[in-house]
Amino acid sequence: MLSRISRLKLFHLQLVREMSQVPAEVSANAKAEKSKLQVSLKTPKGTKDWADSDMVIRESIFRVLSDMFKRHGGVTIDTPVFELKEILAGKYGEDSKLIYDLKDQGGELCSLRYDLTVPFARFAAMNNVQNIKRYHIAKVYRRDQPAMTKGRMREFYQCDFDIAGNYESMVADAECLSIAVEGITGLGIKDFKIKLNHRKILDGIFQISGVKDEDVRKISSAVDKLDKSPWDVVRKEITVEKGQSDETADKIGEYVKLNGSLKQVHSVLSQDPAILENSLAKEGLDEIETLMRYTAAFDIDSYISFDLSLARGLDYYTGLIYEVVTSDSAPPENAGELKKKSKNSEDASAYVGVGSIAAGGRYDKLINMFAEASGKKSVQIPCVGISFGVERLFSIIKQRIASASIKPTATQVMVMAFGGGKDWTGYLPERMKVAKELWNAGIETEYVYKSKANPRKQFDAAEKTGAQLAVILGKEEYLDGKFRIKKLGPQFADDDGELIEAADLIKVVKEKLSEINENDVNEVTRLVQGI
């Protein structure tokens, strides 16, 4: 038998051995845990975080557009961010490859919405909507190769306005064009054009040129690239890739190079026997003639360019189509050279244009398509709409006001307290009370979260937030039931402000803010709208 000492030695050796194994296991677990916590702190490609002054600009864009939509009688709706895959399938032509498909969940195949138009048509068919002016501001998703800073993203906002219902020819179309002008000019963008075409005219041109009906959509997608590629490149795609004859391509080329004012191009087409003999093209031409009366009434003719190269590849368009472009829409002339010099493969902003900043058109069969496919009674609800691309608008506006100071908060008033002495408490509860009174009156207000904040720190806080007014609680003045109202900014540095009765606080503050914000338009709105 082992002696007591021997047994103790053996126990000690076992204990040491076990203890020596623990750190190794703990170390392994720690490494495993550490590896689990290692992440790449970045947003996915084609997405970005928005904060501070950028969000102020974006919210101003939303406000300008939504206010405009309401002026035109729009009501807003919202739809799920993903739809059943079968709802989106086959609606976007060649761009269908850009739809984000999701994993099977609960027996349903879903996809992220590609735009707001198809979900709207599904909504209208589901709810038996006969007529509506609807607007929708929400995110959509494209499985695209993004050029981040120019608005080409995988996740981005669209602001849509659509008119559904049976109305006289081209009345709703003309209003959508007027909304396009009103929205773009309302955001301070003056140098732009609405490129306009008609799918019936374009499809008639394809028929005249010898394109078979089943090939029309793929030829449309090729022609639609003329804003980015020269005719030689597009012609090669039509003949080599799309299988059309040289004669067909040359005939298409004669027409799609035509552009000018509505009157100019309409006049040229009206004298073309082939166009007049084609029933589809003639129908589209007659609708353009009707449209011209209404665009003249809305005084928007100067913004419109009738461009036969515009095709818009989406399959659901049936009539008028249009897109809004600016000088920033096209890539720079030396794009190829800039691309070679670019060192960042994820950022193509130096050599890629913004693209169209708004687009839309008529789609008369989409709601009926959904109604019939679901077994509902066939309903022909014509629709026309316009969609504004927020990220692209933002990139243009941000470039224009890059040198301007945009404050990240909406703060208008900073509540301050000045005093001193051993009995000075800083009036923190009193400042809270005044701030609450201003909040209740709908006035954006802040105060420093410190009992005894010195004047310098309070003024620094006001400057940081961009506050326009200070409501000052002086130690003795407050006890007498008075406040001091002071305008803020370098130009008012020597102004001590105005002493007022506490009871007049809200009235005086609103008057002062009205003086500062001319016509009740704040500085951010003036900058965004270019006022």
Tens digits of residue pLDDT in 287-309: 999 999 999 999 999 999 999 98
Tokens of 449: 């979260």
Helix (H, G, I), strand (E, B) or coil at 528: helix
Residue type, 144: D
CATH of 199-363, one of 3.30.930.10, 3.40.50.1220, 2.40.37.10, 3.40.50.1100: 3.30.930.10
At residue 69, the pLDDT reads 97
Helix (H, G, I), strand (E, B) or coil at 145: coil
Confidence at residue 16, expressed as pLDDT on a 0 to 100 scale? 46
Give the containing element (helix H, strand E) for 9: helix 4-37
Task: Give the residue, 442 or 153, on which the prediction is more confident.
Answer: 442
With a cut of 90, say whether residue 472 has pLDDT above it. yes
Name the one residue in this structure whose structure tokens are 């963008």.
Answer: 189
Taking a C-beta distance cutoff of 8 angstroms, is the pair 91, 314 a contact? yes
Task: Count the helix, strand and coil residues of the chain and give each as a percent rounded to the nearest 5.
Answer: 50, 15, 35
What's the pLDDT at 145?
A: 74
Mean pLDDT confidence for 387-398: 88
Q: How confident is the model at residue 330 (pLDDT cuts 50, 70, 90)?
A: low
What secondary structure, in 3-state letters, does 202-268 show? HHHHHHHHCCCHHHHHHHHHHHHHHHCCCHHHHHHHHHHHCCCCHHHHHHHHHHHCCEECHHHHHHH
Tokens of 177: 């064009």
Is 115 annotated in some ligand binding site? yes
Say which residues have a Cβ less than 8 Å from residue 108's Cβ, sequence separation at least 6.
84
The pair of structure tokens assigned to 47 is 């997405």
Lookup result for tokens 């193509």: 348
Query: What is the three-class DSSP state of 152?
Result: strand
Three-state DSSP class for 523?
A: helix
Is there a binding annotation on residue 468?
A: no
Residue 142 assigned ligand-binding role: yes
- Residues near 284 by Cβ (< 8 Å), separated by ≥ 6? 198, 199, 200, 201, 202, 204, 319
Instruction: List, in order, residues 6 or more apart from 342 with CB less than 8 Å away.
Output: 348, 350, 351
Give the DSSP letter of residue 168: S
Cα separation, 20 vs 82, whole angstroms: 55
116 is in an annotated binding site: yes
Structure tokens at 7: 């047994």
The pLDDT, as a whole number, for residue 7 is 55
Q: What CATH homologous superfamily does 49-164+378-406 map to?
A: Bira Bifunctional Protein; Domain 2 (3.30.930.10)
CA distance 264 to 304: 11
Q: Is the pLDDT score of 313 beyond 90?
A: no
Residue type, 225: K
65-77 confidence digits (pLDDT tens): 999 999 999 999 9
pLDDT at residue 212, rounded to an integer: 87
Q: Which residues of the chain form CATH 3.30.930.10?
A: 49-164+378-406, 199-363
Residue 210 one-letter amino acid: G
**Residue with more model confidence, 286 or 34:** 286
User: Does position 149 have pLDDT exceeding 80, yes or no?
Assistant: no
CB 322 within 8 A of CB 360: yes
Please give the model's pTM, rounded to 2 decimal places.
0.80
Please check if 162 is assigned to a binding site.
yes
Q: Mean of the per-residue pLDDT values for the chain?
A: 85
DSSP helix/strand/coil, 500? strand
Lowest-pLDDT choice from 5-9, 139-143, 175-179: 5-9
- Structure tokens that stand for 193 in this block: 């054009």
496 is in an annotated binding site: no
- Per-residue pLDDT tens over the stretch 406-416: 777 778 999 99
3-state DSSP call for residue 311? coil
Give the H or E element holding residue 119.
helix 117-126
Tokens of 129: 């909507």
DSSP letter string, 379-429: ----EEEEEEEHHHHHHHHHHHTTTS---SS---EEEEEE--STT----HH
- The answer to whether 431 is a known ligand-binding residue is no
> Crossing angle of helices 366-373/117-126, nearest 10°?
50
Is the pLDDT reported for residue 274 higher than 70? yes
CA distance 330 to 357: 11
Q: What is the largest CA-CA distance in the chain?
A: 121
C-beta separation of 237 from 225 below 8 A: yes
Strands (E), 77-210: 82-84, 110-112, 132-141, 155-164, 192-198
Please state the φ and ψ torsions of residue 282, each to the nearest 5 degrees. -65, -40
- Tens digits of residue pLDDT in 214-229: 888 888 888 888 877 8
Tokens of 519: 């016509």
Domain with CATH 3.40.50.800 in the chain: 413-523
pLDDT at 521 over 70: no
93: left (phi over 0), alpha (psi -120 to 50) or beta: left
Please tell me the class of the 413-523 domain: alpha beta
Q: Using the CB atoms, write b or e for 149-160: b if 16+ within 10 Å.
A: bbbbbbbbbbbb
What's the rounded Cα separation, in Å, for the pair 66 and 60?
10
CA dihedral 67, 71, 74, 75 (to 10 degrees): 60
